[in-house]
Amino acid sequence: MTTDPSQGQPSADGELWPVDPAYEPQGGLRRLTHRDADWSGLQVVVVGLGLSGFAAADALLERGAAVTVVSRDSTPLMLERAQILQVLDATVIFGDDVPDAPPPGTHLVVTSPGVPPVNPFLQAAAAAQIPVWGEVELAWRMRAKEGAAPWLTVTGTNGKTTVVTMLESILRAAGLRATAAGNVGLPILEAVLHPEPYDVLAVELSTFQLHWSRSISPYASCLLNVAPDHLDWHGSFEEYRRVKGRIFDRTQVAAIYNVQDHTTEHLLEDAEVVDGCRAVGFTMLTPAPSMVGLVEDVLADRAFVPDRQRNAAELANLSDLVGPDGTPPAPHYVANALAAGALSRAYGVGPVAVRDGLRDYQPQPHRVSTVATIDGVRYVDDSKATNTGAAAASIAGLDSVVWIAGGLLKGADVDDLVRDAASRLRAVVLIGRDRGLLREALQRHAPDVPVVDISSTETGAMAQAVRAASEHARAGDVVLLAPAAASMDMFDNYGARGDAFAAAVRDLAGGAQ
């Protein structure tokens, strides 16, 4: 699991990494390893005009590249961005006018993260041997030549946003100028090119972003867990799993894995990291040397201490993780805190700052958030549970649940989720396009659990779902929105779905008074 940094791309300390010639056949791009390189004259096509596409086009134009932006969509915000880029001499092409392939003379294609590799335009670029970078790859190559902020990178099927924002809180508690970036917070290019440089970046990376990245060399990296997700984008679980493992490639100091998810350890064993990079595990059990874990109610570090065979450092107490409503932390939340603590310790943060950062941390919206308690029933918004693994973790921390579930399952199998959750279910309310797959699994594995099927896929169906859930709930139960599915069949995003749930609960509370 090591590599010899002998040629190709530079790491953070200036050493060079091998570059896959099939990925970058035009060797001239290898010189583009920092923001002050000569980007002028480069002919670039940027695919997509979302936040990342706009940031990429703007950064390239500022450095003298000739930029064409293509976008099948043309929302009012995209049209506004297009006007700005056109003033800067970019060419912007929308809708049916987008060509089938990059124009002749194109040196590079930069793609937005949501565009899959089977996209015909990207396939045409590959066939023409035109390199394709993601915006994260571009950001890595746009770092400062000297003194660039190190990256602490995180991925996983579930929990990555929580871990990255926890890590941001810890780094700031240590007095560092730090921010969460990438798949959360600032677009990574904005963070890298910020006029007031950061000391360190906490970088969340999705598999979409990792797929198009080849030269990133993080100071420390972490893979939280791997469960089936985005199979429609990747084509198979094996490919999704493989891409998740890329988070470890070229890691310099510490590669952090989940002791209780063996896939993460196996992917680390297969990774190409820097000589001397340490493997560090996090676990909900008592940690062995080179691990962080739990000793009774203490988050303990046996990885980044002197004489780790006999010593440990106390990072925090479980009481430091109690939510603002006094709810004890769920097991997956504790695991996330351990992962964030391990990453910060790899960077040299002291135990007191870890504790203070975890105490100060405010959980992100729509992640196991209590909306209200009505007649002894707690209503919990976990709309961010957009896959089966996240929903399973949410349900596992509860005893008696009225579960609101459904949406776009993205090719996921729900049998294991339903089978494992069956004993905790008081009732289930199904919403969304793929609810039939959940209903069939419930018939197989929980035939005695009452099921309410909300056939409407209009946004107002959430109010129907909450009312139906309240009719089945009893004092002491939790009505849990943990859909195990994406939201775009009914809502703009998971946040809008969670907001609709919260609004329906507030309406219910008003009627109960």
Q: What is the mean pLDDT of the chain?
A: 90
**Which of 19-23, 175-179, 236-240, 254-258 shows the lowest mean pLDDT across its residues?**
19-23
Residue 432 and residue 352 share a domain: no
pLDDT at 255 over 50: yes
Q: What does the buried/exposed string (b/e) look like for 67-80 if buried means 16 or more CB atoms within 10 Å of the residue's CB?
A: bbbbbbeeeeebee
Whether residues 502 and 445 share a domain: the answer is yes
In this predicted structure, the answer to whether residue 80 has a pLDDT above a threshold of 90 is: yes
Q: Using the 8-state DSSP alphabet, how is residue 408 labeled?
A: B
d(CA 242, CA 270): 10
Using the predicted structure, report yes or no on whether residue 512 has a pLDDT greater than 90. Answer: no
Please check whether residues 465 and 486 belong to one and the same domain.
yes
In a domain, 21, yes or no: no
On the question of pLDDT at 31 being above 90, the answer is: no
Residue 56 in domain: yes
Give the tokens for residue 4. Answer: 């010899």
Q: 117, 139, 161: which is the final residue of a domain?
A: 139
Taking the C-alpha atoms of residue 37 and residue 21, their distance in angstroms, rounded to an integer, is 20
Local structure of 426: helix, strand or coil: strand
pLDDT of residue 27: 54
Indicate if the pLDDT at residue 18 is higher than 70.
no
* 65, 187: one domain: no
Q: Across-strand partners of 258?
A: 282
Same domain, 135 and 213: no
Statement to judge: residues 310 and 387 lie in one domain = no
pLDDT band, very low/low/confident/very high, at 8 (cuts 50, 70, 90): very low
Number of domains present in the structure of the chain: 3
Confidence of residue 115 (pLDDT cuts 50, 70, 90): confident
Asked if residues 133 and 109 have their Cβ atoms less than 8 Å apart, the reply is yes
Say what the pLDDT of residue 325 is: 64
Shared-domain flag, residues 332 and 245: yes
Q: Annotated binding residues for ATP, as ranges?
A: 156-162
Residues 210 and 341 in one domain: yes
Is 259 in contact with 265 (CB distance < 8 Å)?
A: yes
Tens of pLDDT, residue by residue over 454-498, are 998 887 899 999 999 999 999 999 999 999 999 989 998 999 999
**pLDDT for the residue 231:** 65
Residue 509 region by backbone torsions, left for phi larger than 0, else alpha for psi between -120 and 50, else beta? alpha
Residues 379 and 311 in one domain: no
241 within domain boundaries: yes
Q: What mean pLDDT is predicted for residues 172-185?
A: 93
Range of the domain at 133: 27-139
d(CA 495, CA 383): 7
Residue 212 counted as domain residue: yes
- The CATH number linked to 43 is 3.40.50.720
User: Same domain for 482 and 506?
Assistant: yes
Query: What pLDDT is stored for residue 22 in this prediction?
Result: 44
CA distance 42 to 65: 5
The share of the chain scoring above pLDDT 90, in percent, equals: 74
* Domain membership flag for residue 10: no
**pLDDT at position 511, please?**
60
Measured CA distances, 91 to 42, 44, 83, 124 (Å) = 14, 10, 10, 20
Residue type for position 429: V
Given a cut of 60, is residue 356 above it in pLDDT?
yes
Same domain, residue pair 325 and 373: no
Residue type at 500 in one-letter notation: A
Which of 270, 217, 215 shows the shortest CA–CA distance to 244? 270
What DSSP character marks residue 8? S
What is the spatial distance between Cα 201 and Cα 188, in angstroms, rounded to a whole number?
A: 9
Share of the chain above pLDDT 70, in %: 92
Is residue 262, in this structure, part of any structural domain at all?
Answer: yes
Q: Establish if 3 belongs to a structural domain.
A: no
Annotated binding-site residue numbers: 156-162
Alpha-carbon distance of 33 to 29, in angstroms, equals 8
Tokens of 210: 């990792």
Q: What is the CATH number of the domain that holds 335?
A: 3.40.1190.10
| CATH number of residue 493's parent domain | 3.90.190.20
Position 21 scores a pLDDT of 47
- Residue type for position 80: E
Confidence category of residue 433, pLDDT binned at 50, 70, 90: very high
In a domain, 7, yes or no: no
SS3 sequence, 87-152? HCCCEEEEHHHCCCCCCCCCCEEEECCCCCCCCHHHHHHHHCCCCEEEHHHHHHHCCCCCCCCCEE
Query: Which residue, 120, 139, 158, sits at the end of a domain?
Result: 139
**Whether residue 410 is found in the same domain as residue 502:** yes
Contact 499, 460 (CB under 8 A): no
Of the residues 104, 139, 174, which one is the last residue of a structural domain?
A: 139
What is the Cα–Cα distance from 207 to 233, expressed in whole angstroms? 10
